């Protein structure tokens, strides 16, 4: 066996020549000397030196095995190891990835009248809504402040926001087509109309607008609601209360215990828990919410229940 001379760069970065008299040493002695040398070498040169000496390393073998692993399997493993973060059901403000979320406000008119206002969050975290006296428009998100409705100063207090659908794929589809859904309403400056109001032109309440974005119908007159969409008061119109009950997933639960468990799972601010508790008490167990009795209740002590915005009921065919 011929002796081999190998060039190695040491730890002190100076080049030195190491002459391995392999032909005069036993394999055991060579291994010991190689181990001593490896301990002095930087890691990138370990494999080079071992290869030159004809001694395989476990680490090198493992690296070769890793490189031989099919790329498809590695990609699947990485995807499985990366957790997918599910968007929250309830939020207290706007945020990244929340376009399409339905937000609730309590608004107070100049004369002191209060009503529930709903709007849809846009990708840039602004809000599109149909506001009293203004109609469909885009506005900055307001947590707690004032809003000028063509010269009428309103007080606006944000309550909570909810995911538009429980199905993640449905949420992504809405987000992908959200601008396309809202733009015609904005371009046509569709005016606001009151519940039970009479108008010669197409108009829309805040709930009617939100319903058309979430459940678009064949015309602007009627949204195509899911067949299990509740009608809590049993009236001809759906309202913001029905929408809240549906978004929270309380509409189809059989009893008060199940609804309370659902509310506990949702979490959210006290205002949401208070409103859901009030609405839950209006649902008659084991009966369709469309014929449940509304009853006379108050939103909170010392304040009457704000007016509800609504739109005429129609069921999605099929």
The model's pLDDT over 194-233, given as tens digits with 9 standing for 90+, comes to 755 556 678 999 999 999 999 998 887 789 999 999 888 7
Q: CA 30 to CA 28: how far, in whole Å?
A: 5
Residue 111: pLDDT band by 50, 70, 90 thresholds? Answer: very high
Q: CA 302 to CA 55: how far, in whole Å?
A: 86
Q: Which residue has the higher pLDDT, 47 or 260?
A: 260
User: Does residue 34 have a pLDDT over 90?
Assistant: no
Q: Which residue has the higher pLDDT, 193 or 99?
A: 99
Q: How far separated are the first and last CA of the chain, in Å rounded?
A: 86
DSSP string, 226-261: -TT---TT-SSEEEHHHHHHHHHT-TT-SSHHHHHH
Please write the tens of the pLDDT for every residue from 73-86: 454 454 444 444 45
Mean pLDDT, residues 92-120: 97
* Rounded CA Rg of the chain: 34
Token pair, residue 2, equals: 């011929």
Q: Which residue has the higher pLDDT, 12 or 246?
A: 246
In this structure, the number of other CB atoms found within 10 A of the CB of residue 143 comes to 11
- Which pLDDT value is given to residue 307? 56
User: Does residue 268 have a pLDDT over 90?
Assistant: yes
- Which pLDDT value is given to residue 310? 53
Please write the tens of the pLDDT for every residue from 145-179: 999 999 999 999 999 999 999 999 999 999 999 99
Could you give the percent of the chain with pLDDT greater than 90? 50
Strands 237-239, 310-312: parallel, antiparallel or unpaired by DSSP? antiparallel
Q: 55-69, 216-230, 255-269 — which is least confidently predicted?
A: 55-69
- Which pLDDT value is given to residue 10? 41
Could you give the percent of the chain with pLDDT greater than 70? 58
Q: 62-66, 275-279, 281-285 — which is least confidently predicted?
A: 62-66
Q: 196-205, 239-248, 249-258 — which is least confidently predicted?
A: 196-205
Q: What's the whole-number average pLDDT of the chain?
A: 74
The one-character DSSP state at 41 is S
User: Does residue 118 have a pLDDT over 80?
Assistant: yes
Token pair, residue 264, equals: 């506990």
Comparing CA positions, the residue from 88, 89, 154 lying closest to residue 117 is 154
- Mean pLDDT is highest, among 35-44, 121-130, 233-242, for 121-130
- Which pLDDT value is given to residue 237? 78
Q: 42-46, 104-108, 214-218, 247-251 — which is least confidently predicted?
A: 42-46
């Amino acid at each position: 066996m011929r002796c081999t001379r190998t060039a190695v760069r040491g730890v002190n970065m100076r080049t030195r020549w190491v002459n391995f008299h392999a032909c005069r040493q036993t394999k055991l002695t060579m291994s010991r000397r190689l181990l001593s040398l490896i301990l002095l070498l930087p890691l990138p040169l370990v494999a080079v030196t071992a290869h030159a000496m004809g001694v395989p390393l476990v680490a090198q073998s493992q690296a070769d095995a890793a490189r031989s692993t099919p790329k498809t399997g590695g990609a699947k493993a990485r995807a499985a190891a990366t957790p997918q973060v599910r968007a929250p059901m309830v939020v207290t403000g706007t945020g990244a990835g929340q376009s399409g979320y339905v937000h609730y406000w309590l608004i107070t008119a100049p004369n002191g009248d209060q009503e529930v206002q709903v709007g849809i969050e846009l990708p840039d975290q602004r809000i599109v809504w149909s506001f009293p006296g203004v109609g469909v428009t885009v506005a900055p998100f307001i947590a707690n402040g004032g809003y000028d409705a063509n010269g009428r100063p309103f007080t606006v207090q944000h309550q909570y926001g909810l995911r538009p659908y429980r199905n993640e794929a449905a949420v992504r589809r809405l987000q992908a087509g959200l601008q396309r859904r809202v733009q015609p309403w904005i371009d046509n400056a569709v005016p606001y109309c009151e519940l039970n109001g009479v108008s010669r032109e197409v108009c829309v309440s805040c709930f009617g607008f939100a319903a058309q974005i979430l459940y678009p119908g064949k015309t602007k007159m009627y949204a195509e609601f899911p067949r299990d969409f509740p009608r809590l008061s049993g009236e001809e119109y759906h309202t913001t209360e029905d929408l809240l009950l549906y978004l929270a997933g309380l509409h189809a639960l059989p009893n008060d215990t199940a609804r309370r468990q659902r509310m506990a799972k949702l979490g959210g601010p006290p205002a949401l828990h208070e409103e859901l508790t009030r609405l839950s008490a209006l649902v008659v167990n084991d009966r369709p919410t469309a014929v449940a009795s509304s009853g006379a209740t108050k939103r909170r002590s010392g304040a009457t229940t704000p007016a509800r915005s609504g739109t005429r009921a129609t069921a999605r065919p099929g």
